[in-house]
Amino acid sequence: MTSAQFGDRNVSRETLERLEIYAALLEKWNKSINLVAPSTIPDLWTRHFADSAQVFDLAPGSGRWIDLGTGGGFPGLICAILAAEHAPDLSFAFVESDRRKCEFLRTVIRETGVQADVSASRIEQAKIEPGDIISARALASLDKLLSLSLPLMKANAVCLFPKGANYQGEVDASLESWSFSLQKTPSITDPNAVILSLGDIARA
């Protein structure tokens, strides 16, 4: 595997080795646990790894990062691997209700040597310290994500949510119940997708 297969991103040999360990474990575990759609495995480095890495690029370089519904590790685990090299002042917490997926996440964390905590619980029931950054990928509508995120946010927290082609409809629907600042960053892996960066979040 080469860094060119990771969205043309320059990473150190150590980071690349961590990503390769992650990829190997994911392919192995995916045979028994539905971490990602099997059809996406051949494009793993673009479809999931590079797609998650672009979320890291939009985040502050320090603070507590909470990834909701982490599942197979996207975007949270990719961001934690990148942070080990580029942002060591970031700490990570993953919230995932499926205990088998939590076991997978803990295995990757142990094998790659990155620092992250895994909370095996539903998001609504998670008893964890609030975060400065909240992320979630392919989890719920924007309105629902904001409801799930609000109790876990510190003051001035930022939410980073990758969204597909119908993102504008979700934004418009959310503005009926919420107020927030918004930045839209085009996705590098899907011309119809964006990453939404939200701040100043409050119920309208």
Q: From CA 178, how far away is CA 75, in angstroms rounded? A: 24
Taking the alpha carbons at both ends of the chain, their separation in whole angstroms is 48
Known binding residue 74? Answer is yes
CB 204 within 8 A of CB 176: yes
Known binding residue 123? Answer is yes
Q: In the numeric block, which tokens belong to residue 28? A: 């192995």
Q: Which residue has the tokens 């701040």?
A: 199
CB 108 within 8 A of CB 21: yes
Q: In the numeric block, which tokens belong to residue 199? A: 């701040």
DSSP symbol at 42: G
Helices (H) and strands (E) in the chain, counts: 7, 7
Q: From CA 74, how far away is CA 67, in angstroms rounded? A: 8
Q: From CA 23, how far away is CA 150, in angstroms rounded? A: 32
Write the single-letter amino acid at 5. Answer: Q
Known binding residue 124? Answer is yes
Annotated binding site: 69, 74, 123-124, 137
Annotated binding site for S-adenosyl-L-methionine: 69, 74, 123-124, 137
